Amino acid sequence: MFRAVKEFRQKAKHSLLVETDDGHVIPQRQSEVARVKSHFQFLFTAEEQTGLPPPHAHIMVTRISCDEISKAVARLKNQKAVGPDGARRELLKYSPEVLHGVMADVLNISFENCADISEVISQGVLMPQPKPNKPQGPVKNLRPGILLNTGRKALSLITLRRTRAPITDFLGPVPARFCSGKSTCDVLW
């Protein structure tokens, strides 16, 4: 019964229609993928991209703890699509504390020794979605959805938790937009 209700509620999935610049529908899947890839690659990469200075090794002031990893993975939502690592969020979320400790050690050692983890954490799978209420076809009417690695999501949540208080202190009580627990109505009252 529950399965029938679930299937009934699911929206029909529409295939992605992609057009060339002159309005012709691209007939082959490989050509569609190439067109969408080149469109988003143009949007996401700067022409003159300056690299960051090389990092230098130093001891971390506050090492990532096993508890921080546990809290971060506990916030991950279940049954979401996997990224390029293929790891389901539930695998980390319901794993023993030992695995969280190993993950914390790997991140700490990587940061302290300036190991280049950008290849691992910067990977993603592009899943373009059509924008609502826009005609299908032009690539400008696609919204980029990027599936990230589970480890990167956990690291992002740790970084967000660590930086939230200093950023809130810096911004002060006046700018209510983009602050957790605040509303633009706070400015009016």
Domain parsing of the chain, residue ranges: 58-131+147-164
Per-residue pLDDT of the chain in tens (189 residues, 90 and over written 9): 566 656 666 655 556 666 666 666 666 666 777 878 888 888 877 677 666 677 676 777 899 999 999 999 999 999 888 888 888 888 888 999 999 999 999 989 888 888 877 777 778 888 888 888 888 778 888 888 888 888 888 999 999 999 988 887 887 766 556 666 666 666 665
Q: What is the DSSP string of 28-83?
A: SHHHHHHHHHHHHHHHHS-SSPPPPPPP-----SSPPPHHHHHHHHHTSPSS----
